[in-house]
C-alpha cells in the first residue's frame, strides 16, 4: 500500500531506553516533538561488501559484512522557541546518544513507529534568500538498531 509523508512526526529524547526493544523505548516519557519538519531523510541498514579472491580459481567471492543504519537528515523551518529543535541544537554540541521516535501515518491502517538512537552530528541554520523561510538541517548518525512497531 502506498502512503504519503504528510502526518509524519519525529520526536527526540535525551533519555536512553532501558532496553533496545518496544517496551524500552515506550518507557521513555520525555519525548519532544520536532516542529516544522519539511523533510525526513531515509534510514535503514546498509551492509559493507567483503570480497575474497582465491588464488587457485581466481573467482571473486562476495560476502556480506558489517552494517550501518545510516544517517537521518532532518530538514525544518527554524523555530528557536521549539523544544524539540532546541534539544537538537544542544545535542549537536554534546557527545551523548539521543533517542528518536519516527511516527508515520498509514491512513486507515493506523501508524508505524520506528525507534532508534543516534548521535546528533550537526544542526546548521540556512538563511537563504529574500523570499524564503529560514531553515535548519540536522544530521543524526544512527547508532542503535531500528525497532519497528505497527499500531492499528
* Predicted local distance difference test score (pLDDT) of residue 127: 96
**pLDDT value at position 123?**
98
Nearest to 100 by CA among 146, 137, 44: 146
Provide the residue ranges of all domains of the chain, joining segments of one domain with +: 9-151
Residue range 28-36: average pLDDT? Answer: 97
Q: What is the pLDDT of residue 36?
A: 97
> Is 136 a residue whose pLDDT tops 90?
yes
Note the pLDDT of residue 109. Answer: 72
Helices (H), the chain: 22-26, 83-91
The pTM of this model reads: 0.91
pLDDT at residue 54 in the model: 93
Q: 141 with 123: CB under 8 angstroms? A: no
More confident residue, 151 or 83: 83
| pLDDT score for 106 | 74
Whole-number Å distance between alpha carbons of 83 and 86: 5
All three cell numbers of 85: 529543535
Give the residue-averaged pLDDT of 125-131.
95
How high is the pLDDT of residue 134? Answer: 97
Residue 103 β-bridge partners? 9, 113
Which among 135, 41, 147 has a CA at the least distance from the CA of 100? 147
pLDDT score at 7: 86
Taking only the tens place, the pLDDT of each residue in 61-106 is 999 999 999 999 999 999 999 999 999 999 999 999 999 999 998 7
Instruction: Identify the CATH number of the domain defined by range 9-151.
Output: 4.10.410
Amino acid at each position: 500500500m502506498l502512503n504519503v509523508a504528510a502526518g509524519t512526526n519525529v520526536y527526540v529524547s535525551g533519555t536512553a531506553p532501558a532496553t533496545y526493544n518496544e517496551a524500552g523505548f515506550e518507557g521513555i516519557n520525555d519525548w519532544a516533538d520536532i516542529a516544522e519538519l519539511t523533510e525526513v531523510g531515509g534510514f535503514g541498514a546498509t551492509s559493507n561488501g567483503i570480497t575474497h579472491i582465491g588464488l587457485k580459481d581466481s573467482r571473486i567471492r562476495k560476502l556480506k559484512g558489517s552494517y550501518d543504519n545510516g544517517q537521518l537528515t532532518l530538514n525544518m523551518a527554524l523555530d528557536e522557541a521549539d523544544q524539540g529543535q532546541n534539544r537538537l541544537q544542544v545535542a549537536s554540541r554534546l557527545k551523548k546518544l539521543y533517542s528518536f521516535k519516527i511516527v508515520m501515518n498509514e491512513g486507515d491502517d493506523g501508524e508505524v513507529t520506528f525507534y532508534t538512537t543516534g548521535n546528533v552530528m550537526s544542526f546548521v541554520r540556512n538563511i537563504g534568500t529574500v523570499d524564503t523561510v529560514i531553515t535548519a538541517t540536522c544530521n543524526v548518525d544512527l547508532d542503535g538498531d531500528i525497532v519497528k512497531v505497527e499500531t492499528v
